[in-house]
């Protein structure tokens, strides 16, 4: 166990133990048995009783994220129930309950005053019971200072009769409540409905551009309920402390996968946001480390080119689904080898007009933007050859450019050709692609498959070496079974078997920028529980090479 994990678990233990010991004493002060504070769920039943809230609050505490929001209100109301009416005291209860509850629980001066009663309700009850001594209301057009004076005077009278009455809200408290409500509303919207997402790379270029800011719908494919209750709200999987990234969550408690009904199903060729499946075994180097919790893995966005039950194949970079040539995205890109004529080249404006990123070196020469979503670069062995990622439209412009001598697709072929010249050489490239077993599955990025996409309820021969290679991660990591190959026999959960029936649906994702996309060709299938949602709208777009792209803002029906 890492030092960071031990630190988080220690904090969690202190939080739980301190809070429960404090509640033990507070329950006793209210006439309840102290041991009830240590009983999960039942302790919340007693809690909402003491603060005068309906029993359905207990049900809300069982829902991740909502529990956090309801718990904030319960902490505030608990402080009020013991006469702690100041904002600072209530903030103390919310932020440090494991200190606050023992402090007031062991304080002999602190008494249980009953469920909190609002100033307005106390005022109504007093005027109803004491008709001859009714407390006046401020005039409609009274100054704020006069309103505060009258309310303060009334509060002194009311607090002498109702010890559990809460003071009227000050201007600062009204603002604090407004910010709290806005934060709660934003968290609910972000968790269950819509979340903002920024395209970090050029893997979907030019359909979606690096620097596009999207609204992503979580309800179209069905809202996935939160899977980790112990995380910092609004933070995905890491937070920086003094320049060092540390996890923003504790993964000791994980909730099972559950998804609410959606308004549509994932269809072939939909653009989908999902959690990076390999994040549990692949450190992306961004400070998050290995992420085991599915919903906290890094967010990716690609096109779903294969759905459960499909057979997928790439032939010389052309995609085939179930034996037929598949849908071709309008702005699909591949790499082209562009040989320039001697002494010829492109101007910076020509580069940028065609959407290629450039950087100016100290000597004034134009080169590729190596650290900014590279989309063209010179071939290392042949200076007059450029590798350029382009759509068919841009390809046609390059073909007819006066500086271009020859242009061919940069296809990694399935067979060897003559070595040496990049236009007539070995493009097979035994590239490390899924399932990472070249002897059994001799694939590369452009000649891949055929490969079956698992479907829930589908049964396959798991003793087949190709199937075993393709599905071993599915069986062991995504569906949680112990898988072994022993003496030529396949053992699942210790039992010999020849077949396996899939328990989930899976998808195959690819970027539209086919030669500059890390996708299912490299890390395999995307399980259904990794699906986040679908993009709705580009609400902003900016990239340093191009500035604010006004023409991108408002883009919807992203296809």
**What is the C-alpha to C-alpha distance for residues 536 and 278, in angstroms, rounded to an integer?**
26
Q: Residue 78: what are its φ and ψ, rounded to 5°?
A: -65, -40
The single residue listed with the structure tokens 């990694």 is 412
Is residue 530 helix, strand or coil? helix
* Packing angle of the helix pair 87-95, 97-105 (nearest 10 deg): 120
* Bridging pattern class, strands 526-527 and 499-501: unpaired
Instruction: Spell out the per-residue pLDDT of the chain, length 559, in tens.
Output: 455 456 656 777 888 899 999 999 999 999 999 999 999 999 999 999 999 999 999 998 887 667 777 888 899 999 999 989 888 888 888 888 999 999 999 999 999 998 988 888 888 888 877 766 777 777 777 777 777 788 788 888 888 788 888 888 766 666 776 777 777 778 788 888 999 999 988 999 999 999 999 999 999 999 998 888 778 777 888 888 777 888 888 887 788 898 989 999 999 999 999 999 999 998 888 888 899 999 999 999 999 999 999 999 999 999 999 999 999 999 999 999 999 998 899 999 999 999 999 998 877 788 898 888 899 999 888 878 999 999 999 999 999 999 999 999 998 876 544 444 555 444 445 557 999 888 899 898 999 999 999 999 999 999 999 999 999 999 999 999 999 999 889 999 999 999 999 999 999 999 999 999 999 999 999 999 999 999 999 999 999 888 899 999 988 878 8
- Closest by CA to 497, choosing from 459, 540, 443, 544, is 459
Assign 3-class secondary structure to 479-514.
CCCCEEEECCEEEECCEEECEEECCCCEEEEECCEC
Report the alpha-carbon angle 214-224-492, nearest 5: 125
**What is the C-alpha to C-alpha distance for residues 538 and 198, in angstroms, rounded to an integer?**
9
First to last CA, the chain: 44
Paired tokens of 158: 């009311």
Find the helix or strand (DSSP H, E) in which 262 lies.
none
Q: How many residues does the chain have?
A: 559
What's the predicted TM-score (pTM) here? 0.77
Assign 3-class secondary structure to 97-127.
HHHHHHHHHCCCCCCCCCCCECHHHHHHHHH
Contacts of 143 (CB under 8 A, 6+ apart): none
Q: Are 166 and 119 in contact (CB under 8 A)?
A: yes
**What is the C-alpha to C-alpha distance for residues 292 and 252, in angstroms, rounded to an integer?**
10
Q: Domains (ranges, CATH) in the chain?
A: 3-105 (no CATH), 193-310+528-559 (2.10.109.10), 315-442 (no CATH)
**What is the C-alpha to C-alpha distance for residues 55 and 491, in angstroms, rounded to an integer?**
49
């Amino acid at each position: 166990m890492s030092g960071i994990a031990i630190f988080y678990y220690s904090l969690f233990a202190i939080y739980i133990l301190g809070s429960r010991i404090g509640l033990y004493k507070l329950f006793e002060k209210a006439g309840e048995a102290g041991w009830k504070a240590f009983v999960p769920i039942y302790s919340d039943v007693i809690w909402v009783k003491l603060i005068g809230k309906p029993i359905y609050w207990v049900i809300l505490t069982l829902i991740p994220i909502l529990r956090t929001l309801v718990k904030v209100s319960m902490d505030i109301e608990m402080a009020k129930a013991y006469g702690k009416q100041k904002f600072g005291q209530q903030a103390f209860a919310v932020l440090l309950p494991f200190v606050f509850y023992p402090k007031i629980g062991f304080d002999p001066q602190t008494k249980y005053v009953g469920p909190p009663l609002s100033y307005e309700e106390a005022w109504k009850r007093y005027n109803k019971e004491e008709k001859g001594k009714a407390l006046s209301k401020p005039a409609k057009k009274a100054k704020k200072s006069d309103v505060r004076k009258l309310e303060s005077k009334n509060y002194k009278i009311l607090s002498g009769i109702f010890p559990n009455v809460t003071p009227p809200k000050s201007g600062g408290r009204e603002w604090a409540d407004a910010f709290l409500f806005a934060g709660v509303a934003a968290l609910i919207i972000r968790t269950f409905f819509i979340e903002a997402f920024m395209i970090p790379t050029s893997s979907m270029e030019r359909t979606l551009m690096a620097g596009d800011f999207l609204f992503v719908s979580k309800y179209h494919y069905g809202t996935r309920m939160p899977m980790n209750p112990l995380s910092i709200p609004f933070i995905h999987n890491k937070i920086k402390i003094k320049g060092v990234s540390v996890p923003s969550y504790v993964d000791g408690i994980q909730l099972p996968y559950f998804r609410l009904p959606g308004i549509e199903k994932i269809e072939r060729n939909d653009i989908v946001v999902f959690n990076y499946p390999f994040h549990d075994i692949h450190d992306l180097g961004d400070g998050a480390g290995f992420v085991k919790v599915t919903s906290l893995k890094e967010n990716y966005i690609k096109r779903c080119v294969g759905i459960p039950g499909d057979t997928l194949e790439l032939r010389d970079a052309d995609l085939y689904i179930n034996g037929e040539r598949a849908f071709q995205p309008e702005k699909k890109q591949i790499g082209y080898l562009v040989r320039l004529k001697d002494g010829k080249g492109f101007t910076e404006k020509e580069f940028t007009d065609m959407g290629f990123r450039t950087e100016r070196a100290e000597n004034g020469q134009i080169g590729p933007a190596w650290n900014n979503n590279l989309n063209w670069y010179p071939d290392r062995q042949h200076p007059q050859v450029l590798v350029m990622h382009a759509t068919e439209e841009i390809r046609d412009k390059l073909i007819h450019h006066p500086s271009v001598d020859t242009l061919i697709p940069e296809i990694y072929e399935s067979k060897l050709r003559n070595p040496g010249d990049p236009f007539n050489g070995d493009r097979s490239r035994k590239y490390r692609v899924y399932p990472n077993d070249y002897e059994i599955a001799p694939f590369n990025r452009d000649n891949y498959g055929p490969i079956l996409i698992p479907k829930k309820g589908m049964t396959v021969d798991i003793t087949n070496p190709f199937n075993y290679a393709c599905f071993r991660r599915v069986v062991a990591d995504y569906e949680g079974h112990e898988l072994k190959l022993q003496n030529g026999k396949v053992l699942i959960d210790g039992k010999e078997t020849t077949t396996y029936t899939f328990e989930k649906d899976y998808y195959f994702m690819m970027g539209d920028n086919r030669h500059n996309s890390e996708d299912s060709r490299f890390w395999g299938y995307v399980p259904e529980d990794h699906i986040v949602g679908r993009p709705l709208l580009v609400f902003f777009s900016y990239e340093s090479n191009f500035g604010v792209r006004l023409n991108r803002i408002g883009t919807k029906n992203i296809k």
